[in-house]
Amino acid sequence: MKAIVFHQHGAPDVLKYEDVPDPVVRHNEVLVRVKACALNHLDLWVRRGLPNVPIPLPHIPGSDISGEIAQVGSDVSTVRVGQKVVLAPLVSCGKCAACVAGIDNRCRQATNLGYMIDGGCAELVRAPEVNCLPYPENLSFEEAASIPLVFQTAWHMLVARAELQPGEDVLILGAGSGVGSAAIQIAKFFGARVIATASSEEKLQKGKELGADHLINHKTQKIRDEVRRITNKRGVDVVFEHVGTATWDDSLASLATGGRLVTCGATTGYDAKLDLRFLFSRQLSLLGSYMGVKSELHTVMKLVASGRLKPVVDRIFPLAEAAVAHAYLESSSQFGKVVLKV
């Protein structure tokens, strides 16, 4: 098969379009003929290389996959050859205490398709049967591939971790990112008031179309000042963080008493400062979140199929142009998902 492969870590030009052997399915796995694979910031980190994460090389990246089932292993019983499918990105052991409790994102063996194992930037990918999600028939393959990772992450952050309640105020950073555009929709679905930030008027306008009630241009406005103004000096109940160092101080300063900050990433850096007096006197909660659990994705897929949540596709590139697509995602000029068509 054809695949995007890198043999060493580095800039986008390490991504090569090559012939590689077809994957061989195990008894509990399916082989998927990939139709689309959406990119995530994770793909950029994996390509550049992460300290203390020995990614097996050569490596095929790509976590968000849609396609058709090409072959099934001998124990597979819930999907059939020819069926359209979207894959849940998280691959866990399925046997440990966390997995049997349904909190597979706490499995110590868990990884993502395209992270410690080969992913979907290829004509074929193998995945466990349990990762097969029902295909929302109202979506193209490119739209379907844009759903799993960002919607699962945003859902787990807002619903499971921050326990967002109707009527609460939520600050969503980076409306133009995949996870931000998903978070706006989920927060509105739960009846929250959404304040969204972005780096341009064009992105803010698109955030508004997704349902954001108030907009902050973080290039020209100070986030904490605007949040104070919009909330009558109260602050927000929930801050949705994934930016890291660049926004951390503003995120903390934007919280109301009893507020919760939930974070899933640090695209601008890992270092953060915290005034402990502020943490206890304001009774704040700092919540880390990683991916989500498979049952949440089944819920998300139902809401997508009924049109309540929508994928946001920015640009589609051919698989062979993965390096160009990576460079484009790195430039942060997108609104929503960058997708490779296979």
Is 44 in contact with 1 (CB distance < 8 Å)?
A: no
> At closest approach, how far in Å is the CB of 108 from Zn ion?
7
Pairing mode, strands 169-172 and 236-241: parallel
DSSP 116-154: TB--SSBSEEEEEGGGEE---TTS-HHHHHTSHHHHHHH
Nearer to Zn ion, 190 or 290 (CB): 290
| Span near Zn ion by CB under 5 A; candidates 48-56, 100-108, 214-222, 259-267 | 100-108
Stretch that binds Zn ion, among 17-25, 92-100, 175-183, 240-248 (CB under 5 A): 92-100
Shorter beta-carbon distance to Zn ion: residue 99 or 340: 99
Burial class of residue 341 (count of CB atoms within 10 Å of its CB; 0-12, 13-18, 19+): middle
Name residues contacting Zn ion, limited to 320-339 (CB under 5 A).
none
Q: How far is the CB of 96 from Zn ion (least distance, A)?
A: 3
92 binds Zn ion (CB under 5 A): yes
**Residue 53 contacts Zn ion per CB under 5 A:** no
Kindly state whether residue 131 participates in binding Zn ion, applying the rule CB under 5 A: no
The interface region with Zn ion, picked from 79-87, 88-96, 206-214, 285-293 by CB under 5 A, is 88-96
Of 1, 14, 44, 96, the one binding Zn ion (CB under 5 A) is 96
DSSP 159: I
Minimum Å distance from CB 102 to Zn ion? 11
First to last CA, the chain: 11
Minimal distance in Å, beta carbon 92 to Zn ion?
A: 5
Interface with Zn ion: number of residues (CB under 5 A)? 5
| Residue 197 interacting with Zn ion (CB under 5 A) | no
Question: Nearest approach, Cβ of 88 to Zn ion (angstroms)?
Answer: 14
d(CA 316, CA 3): 17
CB 231 within 8 A of CB 169: yes
Q: Which residue has the tokens 């939930």?
A: 262
Q: Which is nearer to Zn ion, 79 or 96 (CB)?
A: 96
Buried b (16+ CB within 10 A) or exposed e, 153-191: bbbbbbbbbbebeeebbbbbbbbbbbbbbbbbbbbbbee
Quick one: which H or E segment has residue 166? none
Output the smallest distance, CB 162 to Zn ion, in A: 25
Binding range to Zn ion, per CB under 5 A, among 87-95, 142-150, 280-288, 329-337: 87-95
Distance CA 103, CA 296 (A): 10
Q: Which of 11, 24, 50, 93 binds Zn ion (CB under 5 A)?
A: 93
Among 30, 55, 88, 99, contact with Zn ion (rule: CB under 5 A)? 99
**Residue with smallest beta-carbon separation from Zn ion:** 107
**Vertex 101 angle, CA 99 and 103, to 5°:** 60
Q: Which of residues 16-45 bind Zn ion (CB under 5 A)?
A: none
Q: Whole-angstrom Cα distance, residue 74 to residue 106?
A: 28
Sole window of 71-79, 102-110, 143-151, 153-161 interacting with Zn ion (rule: CB under 5 A): 102-110
* Binding test (CB under 5 A) with Zn ion, winner from 86, 91, 107, 164: 107
For residues 119 and 128, which CB has a smaller minimum distance to Zn ion in the complex?
A: 128
CB of 24 to Zn ion, least distance (A): 23
Distances (CA, A) of 33 to 17, 60, 70, 156, 309: 17, 15, 6, 29, 26
Q: Which of 259, 218, 216, 213 is nearest to 236 (CA)?
A: 259
Q: ∠89-4-133 over CA atoms, to 5°? A: 25
Interface residue list for Zn ion (CB under 5 A): 92-93, 96, 99, 107
